[in-house]
């Protein structure tokens, strides 16, 4: 795994260095979301996202409950 670092400059004049692994440009992202509406005010959803790259795998689950007035 290759490592890289980047300098981040902020508008207030301060800066910091971010270090991390370089990821391959080749990869796959897949995702799906299901949403349910209950009446006029309630929205419930659930989602899944997969990101794959050589030497990297990420799974993300999300859930949302929204009540509108």
Convert the pLDDT of each residue in 1-60 to its tens digit: 578 899 999 999 999 999 988 878 899 999 999 999 999 999 999 999 999 998 889 999
CA 55 to chain centre: 18
CA dihedral angle for residue 69, residue 35, residue 61, residue 50, rounded to 10 degrees: -140
User: What is the pLDDT, as a whole number, of residue 1?
Assistant: 59
Per DSSP, the three-state class of 31 is strand
Q: Are the C-beta atoms of residues 53 and 23 closer than 8 Å to each other?
A: yes
Per the structure block, which two tokens stand in for 23?
A: 């990821």
- The model's pTM is 0.64
């Amino acid at each position: 795994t290759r490592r890289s670092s980047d300098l981040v400059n902020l508008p207030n004049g301060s800066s910091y260095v971010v270090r991390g692994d370089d990821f391959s440009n080749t990869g796959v992202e897949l995702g799906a979301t299901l949403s349910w509406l209950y009446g006029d005010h309630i929205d419930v959803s659930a989602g899944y996202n997969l990101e794959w790259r050589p030497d990297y795998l990420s799974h993300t689950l999300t859930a949302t409950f929204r009540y509108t007035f």
